Amino acid sequence: MVGQGTETGLTQNAEPEPRSLSLGGHVGFDSLPDQLVSKSVTQGFSFNILCVGETGIGKSTLMNTLFNTTFETEEASHHEECVRLRPQTYDLQESNVHLKLTIVDAVGFGDQINKDESYRPIVDYIDAQFENYLQEELKIRRSLFEYHDTRVHVCLYFITPTGHSLKSLDLVTMKKLDSKVNIIPIIAKADTISKSELHKFKIKIMGELVSNGVQIYQFPTDDEAVAEINAVMNAHLPFAVVGSTEEVKVGNKLVRARQYPWGVVQVENENHCDFVKLREMLIRVNMEDLREQTHSRHYELYRRCKLEEMGFQDSDGDSQPFSLQETYEAKRKEFLSELQRKEEEMRQMFVNKVKETELELKEKERELHEKFEHLKRVHQEEKRKVEEKRRELEEETSAFNRRKAAVEALQSQALHATSQQPLRKDKDKKNRSDIGVHQSGMSLSNSKVMMTKASVEPLNCSSWWPAIQCCSCLVRDATWREGFL
């Protein structure tokens, strides 16, 4: 039978609806889903889990418990300066399915005194994985088939079992992450909180998340096969979990549990905790939905914002599809003019800087010149003073030499007089009476000073030369002194 295609009421751009035809016999394309499965199995899968929670809250233990293995994790210290993301990738195999699992640990989360920026390294890490994928997509030669997709598919957010309310760090971090990753909140170490307290705590957490507008991942209810179970599980969020890799004998069975003096907490006992619910939802039912949501919702949002930022649009103002070539040209022009503007700005800045430096140098030169002039003046003044002093000294020296010569003359006269004393005794007597002036040991005759040895006998000095220089010896007799000078 041939189906009728709708050919009426078509707009110019609308595609005609395809006609439905029935087949005469088995063709074989009903095997397409099997081909898809087979191809996916061959290709393998990747799944990336981000664990955010305080150090020692049980992240590593829960990962080991979830995948029933022991991942290589080194114990984190509480003294990290900032939050650091540590991804580790493992190849796991179950039946014929290969899973490339990456566990990313937010090391040092909640350990700093100032926690304002604790969320930033986590956001940056998630964005970096989106960016890597986008770069691969934009390549001319893409190899998305072999590409190791590191985009974070789920964030397990570990809440401390305080029984009170969420910490502001938890609210801020979840709010910053909710548009970038699927968040599943879990209450860690649920064996440390009583059943009634846990019930109230869960209600409180959900209330706080809603009132703060934090969007957590909701298990999808649009697929009939899983709608019911997912709806039930959504009501159990946040899951309260217990982790342990220790095996304890309960009855005849060895089970993973935590043993206490008062009893045993079994990890996989749904009356004890929600571990099984978490494993069901995360791994067995919704793993593909988490991968799908990451690609179609979170990555799509990142990609759209990024491309819009770069100037790309789906259509122009007149709803005409935008040509990639035109957008590229426009963007290139914009970039070049921006580059030119920046170049001009830098050139101007350089010229200004040179001018400033030139002015500074000139000012320094002027200061130096002034300093030099001042020093020159000081130097001339000092030179003048030294000259004056030299002249004074020279005058003093010549006066002294004159005095010395006079004294030496006096001395030799005195000596001469002493040696001729007996011969001239009478004559002296006469002279003395003539002049009428007699000084002990010294005579003044025709303006010449006569000095006997006795008259210049030093008063204070032991020999002649110091005595001549010494004032108190020379001024022994005032009359003589005046005559001498």
Check residue 87 for interaction with ligand GDP (CB under 6 A): no
**Largest alpha-carbon pair distance within the chain?**
189
Minimum Å gap between C-beta 62 and ligand GDP is: 6
Positions in 133-152 near ligand GDP (CB under 6 A): none
| Helix (H), strand (E) at residue 259 | strand 253-260
For residue 272, the minimal CB distance to ligand GDP (Å) is 10
Task: Using the minimum distance from each CB to ligand GDP, give the nearer residue, 115 or 295.
Answer: 115
Asked whether position 60 contacts ligand GDP by CB under 6 A, the answer is yes
**Which residues are CB-neighbours of 115 under 8 A, at least 6 positions away?**
169
Closest CB to ligand GDP among 60 and 286? 60
Q: Which is nearer to ligand GDP, 61 or 443 (CB)?
A: 61
Written as one string, the DSSP assignment of 59-82 is HHHHHHHHHTS----PPPPS--SS
Q: Token pair for residue 171?
A: 């609210």
238 preceded by a cis bond (ω within 30 of 0): yes
Is residue 480 within 8 A of residue 449, CB to CB? The reply is yes
Per CB under 6 A, contacts with ligand GDP among 62-81 are 76
Task: With CB under 6 A as the rule, give the number of residues binding ligand GDP.
Answer: 15
Shortest distance in whole angstroms from residue 55 CB to ligand GDP: 5
**Which amino acid is residue 251, in one-letter code?**
G
Q: Select the span of 56-64, 281-289, 291-299, 477-485 touching ligand GDP (CB under 6 A).
A: 56-64
Amino acid identity at 281: M
Q: Which is nearer to ligand GDP, 50 or 468 (CB)?
A: 50
**Measured from the CB atom, is 153 or 189 closer to ligand GDP?**
189
CB 201 within 8 A of CB 161: yes
Residue 203 — φ and ψ, nearest 5°?
Answer: -65, -40
Distance CA 111, CA 116 (A): 12
Which of 46, 48, 55, 173 lies at the binding interface for ligand GDP (CB under 6 A)?
Answer: 55
- Strand, helix or coil at 256? strand
Q: Which is nearer to ligand GDP, 64 or 293 (CB)?
A: 64
**178 makes contact with ligand GDP (CB under 6 A):** no
Q: Min. distance of Cβ 136 from ligand GDP in angstroms?
A: 31
Which helix (H) or strand (E) covers residue 264, if one does? strand 263-266
Which residues between 183 and 222 bind ligand GDP (CB under 6 A)?
Answer: 189, 191-192
Comparison of 78 and 366: residue with beta carbon closer to ligand GDP: 78
Residue 58 sits in the site that holds ligand GDP (CB under 6 A): yes
Helices (H), 155-313: 168-177, 195-211, 224-234, 275-279, 287-293, 300-309
Reference 268, options 92, 63, 65; nearest CA is: 65
CA distances from 311 to 26, 47, 183, 315 (A): 50, 32, 31, 12
Q: Please, how many CA atoms are within 13 Å of residue 62, restricted to the half-sphere of its CB? A: 30
Cα Rg, the chain, nearest whole Å: 56
Which of residues 61, 266, 293, 294 is near ligand GDP by CB under 6 A? Answer: 61
Q: Which is nearer to ligand GDP, 58 or 238 (CB)?
A: 58
Task: Name the residue with the smallest CB distance to ligand GDP.
Answer: 58
Question: Is residue 57 a contact residue for ligand GDP (CB under 6 A)?
Answer: yes
Q: Which of 243, 257, 266, 442 binds ligand GDP (CB under 6 A)?
A: 243
Span near ligand GDP by CB under 6 A; candidates 52-60, 164-172, 390-398, 455-463: 52-60
Cβ closest to ligand GDP, residue 118 vs residue 294? 118
Please report how close the Cβ of residue 75 comes to ligand GDP at its closest, in angstroms: 6
Of residues 255-314, which lie at the interface with ligand GDP (CB under 6 A)? 258
Separation between Cα atoms, residue 454 and residue 448, nearest integer Å: 18
Cβ distance to ligand GDP smaller for residue 77 or 348: 77
The yes or no reply on residue 242 touching ligand GDP (CB under 6 A) is: yes
**Least distance in Å: CB of 263 to ligand GDP?**
13
Q: Which residues contact 43 (CB under 8 A, 6 or more apart)?
A: 145
Vertex 154: Cα angle to 150 and 155 (nearest 5): 110
Give the torsion sign (CA, 296, 298, 301, 303): negative
Residue 106 sits in the site that holds ligand GDP (CB under 6 A): no
Q: Is 147 strand, coil or helix?
A: coil
The verdict on 238 binding ligand GDP (CB under 6 A) reads: no
Residues that bind ligand GDP (CB under 6 A): 53, 55-61, 76, 189, 191-192, 242-243, 258
